[in-house]
Amino acid sequence: MNERSPRRLLVAGGAGFIGSNFVKLLRSTRPEVEVTVLDKLTYAGNPANLRELEGTPGYRFVRGDICDGEMVDHLAGQVDAIVNFAAETHVDRSLLDPFAFVLTDVLGTGVLAEAARKHGHDVFLLVSTDEVYGHVPEGRSKEEDAFRPRSPYSASKAGGELLARSYLESFGLPLVVTRGSNNYGPNQFPEKIIPLFITNALDGLKLPLYGDGSAIRDYVHVEDHCRGIDLALRRGTPGAAYNLGTGVETSGREVAATVVELTGLDESSIEQVVDRAGHDYRYALDVSQAREELGWSAGIGFREGMERTVRWYRDNQDWWRPLRSGEYWEFYRRNYKPLEVK
Protein backbone atom coordinates (compact mmCIF):
# COMPACT_ATOMS: atom_id res chain seq x y z
CA MET A 1 0.00 0.00 0.00
CA ASN A 2 1.36 3.42 -0.99
CA GLU A 3 1.28 5.71 2.01
CA ARG A 4 1.75 9.45 2.05
CA SER A 5 3.52 10.83 5.09
CA PRO A 6 3.29 14.61 5.46
CA ARG A 7 6.27 15.81 7.53
CA ARG A 8 4.79 19.14 8.63
CA LEU A 9 1.17 19.24 9.73
CA LEU A 10 -1.19 22.06 10.64
CA VAL A 11 -3.79 20.71 13.07
CA ALA A 12 -6.71 23.14 13.30
CA GLY A 13 -8.81 22.76 16.45
CA GLY A 14 -6.03 20.75 18.08
CA ALA A 15 -6.76 22.06 21.59
CA GLY A 16 -10.24 20.51 21.67
CA PHE A 17 -11.24 17.01 22.71
CA ILE A 18 -10.54 14.90 19.62
CA GLY A 19 -7.88 17.23 18.19
CA SER A 20 -5.74 17.06 21.34
CA ASN A 21 -6.05 13.27 21.51
CA PHE A 22 -5.00 13.16 17.84
CA VAL A 23 -1.97 15.42 18.39
CA LYS A 24 -0.83 13.32 21.36
CA LEU A 25 -1.26 10.12 19.32
CA LEU A 26 0.79 11.62 16.50
CA ARG A 27 3.57 12.84 18.78
CA SER A 28 3.89 9.42 20.41
CA THR A 29 3.71 7.31 17.25
CA ARG A 30 5.47 9.56 14.68
CA PRO A 31 7.57 12.10 16.60
CA GLU A 32 9.38 13.09 13.39
CA VAL A 33 6.20 14.85 12.16
CA GLU A 34 6.31 18.57 12.98
CA VAL A 35 2.96 19.73 14.36
CA THR A 36 1.54 23.23 14.47
CA VAL A 37 -1.73 23.47 16.38
CA LEU A 38 -3.99 26.37 15.38
CA ASP A 39 -6.85 26.95 17.78
CA LYS A 40 -9.09 29.87 18.71
CA LEU A 41 -9.51 28.55 22.27
CA THR A 42 -13.28 28.90 22.44
CA TYR A 43 -15.02 27.64 25.59
CA ALA A 44 -14.28 24.11 24.26
CA GLY A 45 -10.58 24.62 23.54
CA ASN A 46 -8.26 24.06 26.47
CA PRO A 47 -4.47 24.60 26.58
CA ALA A 48 -4.34 22.10 29.46
CA ASN A 49 -5.17 19.34 26.93
CA LEU A 50 -1.77 19.89 25.29
CA ARG A 51 0.29 20.97 28.31
CA GLU A 52 2.52 17.88 28.23
CA LEU A 53 3.70 18.88 24.72
CA GLU A 54 4.63 22.48 25.52
CA GLY A 55 8.31 23.16 24.77
CA THR A 56 8.89 19.80 23.06
CA PRO A 57 10.83 19.88 19.75
CA GLY A 58 8.69 19.85 16.61
CA TYR A 59 5.56 21.16 18.36
CA ARG A 60 4.13 24.66 18.47
CA PHE A 61 0.82 26.24 19.39
CA VAL A 62 -0.72 29.26 17.62
CA ARG A 63 -3.84 30.91 18.94
CA GLY A 64 -6.05 32.04 16.04
CA ASP A 65 -9.30 31.73 14.13
CA ILE A 66 -9.62 29.51 11.05
CA CYS A 67 -11.81 32.24 9.54
CA ASP A 68 -8.77 34.58 9.48
CA GLY A 69 -7.63 34.09 5.87
CA GLU A 70 -4.36 35.99 6.14
CA MET A 71 -3.13 34.09 9.17
CA VAL A 72 -4.27 30.73 7.82
CA ASP A 73 -2.52 31.43 4.52
CA HIS A 74 0.70 32.28 6.35
CA LEU A 75 0.65 29.07 8.41
CA ALA A 76 -0.44 26.90 5.47
CA GLY A 77 2.67 28.09 3.60
CA GLN A 78 4.82 26.46 6.29
CA VAL A 79 3.31 22.94 6.20
CA ASP A 80 2.59 20.03 3.82
CA ALA A 81 -0.95 19.27 4.96
CA ILE A 82 -3.85 20.40 7.12
CA VAL A 83 -6.08 18.28 9.36
CA ASN A 84 -9.19 20.18 10.37
CA PHE A 85 -10.87 19.47 13.70
CA ALA A 86 -11.82 23.10 14.38
CA ALA A 87 -15.59 23.49 14.67
CA GLU A 88 -18.43 24.46 16.90
CA THR A 89 -19.56 20.98 17.88
CA HIS A 90 -22.47 20.83 20.32
CA VAL A 91 -25.91 20.26 18.76
CA ASP A 92 -27.78 21.88 21.69
CA ARG A 93 -25.68 25.05 21.43
CA SER A 94 -26.38 25.15 17.68
CA LEU A 95 -30.09 25.43 18.50
CA LEU A 96 -29.37 28.52 20.62
CA ASP A 97 -26.71 30.20 18.44
CA PRO A 98 -26.79 28.77 14.87
CA PHE A 99 -24.65 31.36 13.11
CA ALA A 100 -21.54 30.74 15.18
CA PHE A 101 -21.70 27.27 13.62
CA VAL A 102 -22.13 28.58 10.08
CA LEU A 103 -19.12 30.86 10.49
CA THR A 104 -16.60 28.32 11.76
CA ASP A 105 -17.90 25.07 10.31
CA VAL A 106 -18.66 26.41 6.81
CA LEU A 107 -16.62 29.58 6.23
CA GLY A 108 -13.66 28.44 8.36
CA THR A 109 -13.50 25.12 6.51
CA GLY A 110 -13.57 27.03 3.22
CA VAL A 111 -10.70 29.30 4.34
CA LEU A 112 -8.58 26.24 5.19
CA ALA A 113 -9.46 24.55 1.87
CA GLU A 114 -8.50 27.70 -0.02
CA ALA A 115 -5.10 27.85 1.73
CA ALA A 116 -4.45 24.14 1.14
CA ARG A 117 -5.24 24.61 -2.56
CA LYS A 118 -3.03 27.69 -2.90
CA HIS A 119 -0.04 26.00 -1.27
CA GLY A 120 -0.41 22.74 -3.20
CA HIS A 121 -0.74 20.51 -0.14
CA ASP A 122 -0.52 16.71 -0.46
CA VAL A 123 -3.79 16.19 1.38
CA PHE A 124 -6.55 18.13 3.17
CA LEU A 125 -8.11 15.97 5.85
CA LEU A 126 -11.53 17.20 6.97
CA VAL A 127 -12.91 15.67 10.15
CA SER A 128 -16.63 15.44 9.53
CA THR A 129 -19.44 13.57 11.27
CA ASP A 130 -22.07 10.86 10.84
CA GLU A 131 -24.64 13.58 11.59
CA VAL A 132 -24.50 14.75 7.95
CA TYR A 133 -26.69 11.71 7.07
CA GLY A 134 -29.41 12.91 9.44
CA HIS A 135 -31.85 10.60 11.24
CA VAL A 136 -31.49 7.04 9.91
CA PRO A 137 -34.69 5.09 10.75
CA GLU A 138 -33.36 1.81 9.38
CA GLY A 139 -30.28 0.30 7.76
CA ARG A 140 -26.81 1.82 7.92
CA SER A 141 -25.42 4.92 6.24
CA LYS A 142 -22.91 4.35 3.48
CA GLU A 143 -20.48 7.02 2.34
CA GLU A 144 -22.36 7.68 -0.92
CA ASP A 145 -25.70 8.26 0.85
CA ALA A 146 -27.38 11.65 0.56
CA PHE A 147 -26.84 14.36 3.18
CA ARG A 148 -29.98 15.02 5.23
CA PRO A 149 -28.76 17.18 8.12
CA ARG A 150 -31.46 18.33 10.54
CA SER A 151 -29.74 20.63 13.06
CA PRO A 152 -27.80 23.86 12.52
CA TYR A 153 -24.70 21.91 13.68
CA SER A 154 -25.07 19.06 11.20
CA ALA A 155 -26.17 21.41 8.41
CA SER A 156 -23.04 23.51 9.01
CA LYS A 157 -20.80 20.44 8.98
CA ALA A 158 -22.48 19.28 5.77
CA GLY A 159 -22.05 22.77 4.30
CA GLY A 160 -18.32 22.78 5.16
CA GLU A 161 -17.92 19.36 3.62
CA LEU A 162 -19.72 20.42 0.43
CA LEU A 163 -17.61 23.54 0.14
CA ALA A 164 -14.41 21.49 0.54
CA ARG A 165 -15.79 19.01 -2.02
CA SER A 166 -16.30 21.87 -4.47
CA TYR A 167 -12.54 22.56 -4.12
CA LEU A 168 -11.88 18.92 -4.99
CA GLU A 169 -14.05 19.12 -8.11
CA SER A 170 -13.09 22.63 -9.23
CA PHE A 171 -9.43 22.87 -8.25
CA GLY A 172 -8.28 19.29 -7.64
CA LEU A 173 -7.86 19.76 -3.86
CA PRO A 174 -6.77 16.34 -2.51
CA LEU A 175 -9.62 16.15 -0.01
CA VAL A 176 -10.06 13.18 2.31
CA VAL A 177 -13.05 13.19 4.69
CA THR A 178 -13.73 11.13 7.80
CA ARG A 179 -17.26 10.84 9.19
CA GLY A 180 -16.96 9.74 12.79
CA SER A 181 -19.70 8.63 15.15
CA ASN A 182 -20.09 9.83 18.78
CA ASN A 183 -16.72 10.05 20.50
CA TYR A 184 -15.99 9.69 24.20
CA GLY A 185 -12.86 9.44 26.35
CA PRO A 186 -10.39 11.73 28.16
CA ASN A 187 -10.53 15.54 27.85
CA GLN A 188 -14.08 15.81 26.48
CA PHE A 189 -15.75 19.05 27.56
CA PRO A 190 -18.55 18.07 29.97
CA GLU A 191 -21.48 18.98 27.72
CA LYS A 192 -21.90 15.86 25.53
CA ILE A 193 -23.91 13.05 27.11
CA ILE A 194 -21.09 10.83 28.43
CA PRO A 195 -18.85 13.42 30.15
CA LEU A 196 -21.93 15.38 31.30
CA PHE A 197 -23.49 12.32 32.92
CA ILE A 198 -20.21 11.22 34.51
CA THR A 199 -19.41 14.65 35.97
CA ASN A 200 -23.01 15.12 37.15
CA ALA A 201 -22.86 11.67 38.79
CA LEU A 202 -19.57 12.52 40.54
CA ASP A 203 -21.20 15.74 41.77
CA GLY A 204 -24.37 13.98 42.95
CA LEU A 205 -26.54 15.77 40.35
CA LYS A 206 -29.31 14.29 38.19
CA LEU A 207 -28.54 12.85 34.75
CA PRO A 208 -30.86 14.73 32.32
CA LEU A 209 -32.14 12.28 29.71
CA TYR A 210 -33.89 13.75 26.66
CA GLY A 211 -37.36 12.32 26.11
CA ASP A 212 -37.63 8.61 26.83
CA GLY A 213 -33.90 8.01 26.28
CA SER A 214 -34.45 5.67 23.34
CA ALA A 215 -32.38 7.65 20.78
CA ILE A 216 -29.60 5.51 19.32
CA ARG A 217 -25.97 6.47 18.86
CA ASP A 218 -22.74 4.62 17.99
CA TYR A 219 -20.17 5.46 20.69
CA VAL A 220 -16.57 5.16 19.51
CA HIS A 221 -13.64 5.66 21.87
CA VAL A 222 -11.60 8.71 20.88
CA GLU A 223 -8.36 6.69 20.64
CA ASP A 224 -9.94 4.43 18.01
CA HIS A 225 -11.34 7.44 16.14
CA CYS A 226 -7.95 9.21 16.11
CA ARG A 227 -6.21 6.08 14.83
CA GLY A 228 -8.75 6.02 11.99
CA ILE A 229 -8.16 9.69 11.16
CA ASP A 230 -4.40 9.08 11.05
CA LEU A 231 -4.89 6.11 8.70
CA ALA A 232 -7.16 8.21 6.48
CA LEU A 233 -4.50 10.93 6.42
CA ARG A 234 -1.89 8.44 5.21
CA ARG A 235 -3.92 6.00 3.12
CA GLY A 236 -7.16 7.78 2.20
CA THR A 237 -8.01 8.18 -1.48
CA PRO A 238 -8.50 11.82 -2.53
CA GLY A 239 -12.21 12.39 -2.98
CA ALA A 240 -13.18 9.57 -0.61
CA ALA A 241 -15.04 9.78 2.68
CA TYR A 242 -14.68 7.16 5.43
CA ASN A 243 -17.28 6.30 8.05
CA LEU A 244 -15.56 5.67 11.41
CA GLY A 245 -17.70 3.96 14.04
CA THR A 246 -18.10 0.68 15.92
CA GLY A 247 -21.36 -0.51 14.33
CA VAL A 248 -22.80 -1.04 17.85
CA GLU A 249 -26.10 0.68 18.70
CA THR A 250 -26.50 2.18 22.19
CA SER A 251 -29.47 4.13 23.55
CA GLY A 252 -29.29 7.17 25.83
CA ARG A 253 -30.94 5.10 28.55
CA GLU A 254 -28.14 2.49 28.27
CA VAL A 255 -25.53 5.25 28.59
CA ALA A 256 -27.29 6.54 31.72
CA ALA A 257 -27.58 3.04 33.22
CA THR A 258 -23.87 2.38 32.60
CA VAL A 259 -22.84 5.65 34.28
CA VAL A 260 -25.18 4.95 37.22
CA GLU A 261 -23.66 1.49 37.68
CA LEU A 262 -20.02 2.57 37.32
CA THR A 263 -20.39 5.48 39.75
CA GLY A 264 -22.39 3.53 42.34
CA LEU A 265 -25.59 5.60 42.04
CA ASP A 266 -29.11 4.27 41.59
CA GLU A 267 -31.64 4.68 38.77
CA SER A 268 -33.41 7.52 40.62
CA SER A 269 -30.50 9.76 39.53
CA ILE A 270 -31.83 9.60 35.96
CA GLU A 271 -34.27 12.42 35.22
CA GLN A 272 -36.30 12.72 32.03
CA VAL A 273 -36.22 16.27 30.65
CA VAL A 274 -37.84 17.99 27.66
CA ASP A 275 -36.57 16.40 24.46
CA ARG A 276 -34.06 18.10 22.12
CA ALA A 277 -35.78 19.97 19.27
CA GLY A 278 -35.34 18.10 15.98
CA HIS A 279 -33.71 15.18 17.81
CA ASP A 280 -32.16 12.66 15.41
CA TYR A 281 -33.35 9.39 16.93
CA ARG A 282 -30.88 7.07 15.25
CA TYR A 283 -27.47 7.17 13.63
CA ALA A 284 -25.95 3.95 12.28
CA LEU A 285 -22.88 3.59 10.10
CA ASP A 286 -21.69 1.00 7.63
CA VAL A 287 -17.95 0.98 8.35
CA SER A 288 -16.85 -1.59 5.77
CA GLN A 289 -15.08 0.94 3.55
CA ALA A 290 -12.72 2.07 6.35
CA ARG A 291 -12.01 -1.59 7.18
CA GLU A 292 -11.30 -2.58 3.58
CA GLU A 293 -9.44 0.52 2.35
CA LEU A 294 -7.72 1.81 5.48
CA GLY A 295 -7.38 -1.42 7.47
CA TRP A 296 -9.17 0.26 10.38
CA SER A 297 -11.63 -1.05 12.91
CA ALA A 298 -12.50 0.05 16.43
CA GLY A 299 -10.84 -2.01 19.16
CA ILE A 300 -12.25 -0.63 22.42
CA GLY A 301 -15.67 -1.97 23.43
CA PHE A 302 -18.27 0.30 25.07
CA ARG A 303 -18.01 -1.30 28.51
CA GLU A 304 -14.20 -1.14 28.62
CA GLY A 305 -14.20 2.40 27.21
CA MET A 306 -16.74 3.56 29.78
CA GLU A 307 -14.78 2.03 32.67
CA ARG A 308 -11.66 3.83 31.48
CA THR A 309 -13.54 7.09 30.95
CA VAL A 310 -15.26 7.09 34.35
CA ARG A 311 -11.85 6.41 35.94
CA TRP A 312 -10.30 9.31 33.97
CA TYR A 313 -12.96 11.80 35.15
CA ARG A 314 -12.67 10.52 38.73
CA ASP A 315 -8.87 10.95 38.64
CA ASN A 316 -8.80 14.29 36.78
CA GLN A 317 -11.25 16.48 38.66
CA ASP A 318 -8.83 19.40 38.54
CA TRP A 319 -9.22 19.29 34.73
CA TRP A 320 -13.02 19.45 34.58
CA ARG A 321 -14.13 21.23 37.75
CA PRO A 322 -12.96 24.70 36.62
CA LEU A 323 -14.90 24.24 33.35
CA ARG A 324 -18.21 23.92 35.21
CA SER A 325 -18.68 27.53 36.21
CA GLY A 326 -20.19 30.81 34.94
CA GLU A 327 -21.29 30.49 31.30
CA TYR A 328 -21.46 26.71 31.66
CA TRP A 329 -24.34 26.87 34.13
CA GLU A 330 -26.02 29.71 32.16
CA PHE A 331 -26.11 27.42 29.12
CA TYR A 332 -27.26 24.55 31.31
CA ARG A 333 -30.22 26.55 32.63
CA ARG A 334 -31.22 27.74 29.15
CA ASN A 335 -30.94 24.26 27.66
CA TYR A 336 -32.48 21.85 30.17
CA LYS A 337 -36.19 22.10 30.97
CA PRO A 338 -38.05 19.84 33.37
CA LEU A 339 -40.88 17.91 31.71
CA GLU A 340 -43.69 19.74 33.55
CA VAL A 341 -42.89 23.22 32.13
CA LYS A 342 -43.15 21.99 28.54
The binder of 224, among ligand DAU, ligand NAD, none, by C-beta within 5 to 8 A per type, is none
User: Which residue number, 215 or 300, has a Cβ lying nearer to ligand DAU?
Assistant: 215
User: Which residue number, 89 or 141, has a Cβ lying nearer to ligand NAD?
Assistant: 89
Angle at 224 between CA 220 and CA 228, to 5 degrees: 110
**Interface pattern 93-112 for ligand NAD (x via CB under 6 A):** -----------x---x----
Q: Is 167 a catalytic residue?
A: no
What is the nearest approach in angstroms of ligand DAU to the Cβ of residue 272?
9
- Of 159, 180, 208, 245, the one binding ligand NAD (CB under 6 A) is 180
The binder of 196, among ligand NAD, ligand DAU, none, by C-beta within 5 to 8 A per type, is ligand DAU
Q: Is 41 in the site for ligand NAD (CB under 6 A)?
A: yes
- Of 9, 10, 36, 42, the one binding ligand NAD (CB under 6 A) is 42
Using alpha carbons, select from 325, 281, 280 the residue that is nearest to residue 95: 280
d(CA 212, CA 113): 41
d(CA 199, CA 208): 12
Instruction: For the segment 243-282, give every residue that binds ligand DAU (CB under 6 A).
Output: 252, 276
User: Which residue number, 36 or 199, has a Cβ lying nearer to ligand DAU?
Assistant: 199
User: Which residue number, 13 or 213, has a Cβ lying nearer to ligand NAD?
Assistant: 13
Using alpha carbons, select from 207, 187, 210 the residue that is nearest to residue 263: 207
Using alpha carbons, select from 303, 176, 165, 320 the residue that is nearest to residue 246: 303
Q: Is 243 in the site for ligand NAD (CB under 6 A)?
A: no
Please say whether the beta carbons of 82 and 116 come within 8 A.
yes
Which three-class secondary structure state does DSSP give residue 246? coil
d(CA 277, CA 91): 10
113: left (phi > 0), else alpha (psi -120 to 50), else beta?
alpha
Q: Is 61 in the site for ligand NAD (CB under 6 A)?
A: no
Q: Is 249 a catalytic residue?
A: no
Q: Is 215 in the site for ligand DAU (CB under 6 A)?
A: yes
DSSP state of 85: -
Number of Cβ atoms within 10 Å of the Cβ of 301: 12
Contacting range for ligand DAU; rule: CB under 6 A; set: 95-103, 123-131, 142-150, 309-317: 123-131
Using alpha carbons, select from 6, 43, 63 the residue that is nearest to residue 324: 43
d(CA 121, CA 72): 13
What is the nearest approach in angstroms of ligand NAD to the Cβ of residue 205?
22
What is the nearest approach in angstroms of ligand NAD to the Cβ of residue 166?
18
d(CA 7, CA 106): 27
The binder of 193, among ligand NAD, ligand DAU, none, by C-beta within 5 to 8 A per type, is ligand DAU
| End-to-end C-alpha distance for the chain, whole angstroms | 56
Whole-Å CA distances, 7 to 32, 62, 80: 7, 18, 7
Q: Is 43 a catalytic residue?
A: no
d(CA 174, CA 102): 23
Sign of CA dihedral 208, 210, 212, 215: negative
User: Which residue number, 271 or 328, has a Cβ lying nearer to ligand NAD?
Assistant: 328
Catalytic one among 65, 130, 224, 280?
A: 130
Please say whether the beta carbons of 173 and 167 come within 8 A.
yes
**Interface pattern 71-110 for ligand DAU (x via CB under 6 A):** ------------------xxx-------------------
Contacts with ligand DAU by CB under 6 A lie at: 89-91, 129-131, 181-182, 192-193, 196, 208-210, 215, 217, 252, 276, 283
Active site positions, annotated: 130-131, 153
Contacts with ligand NAD by CB under 6 A lie at: 12-13, 15-19, 39-42, 44-45, 65-67, 85-89, 104, 108, 127, 129, 157, 180, 182-183, 189
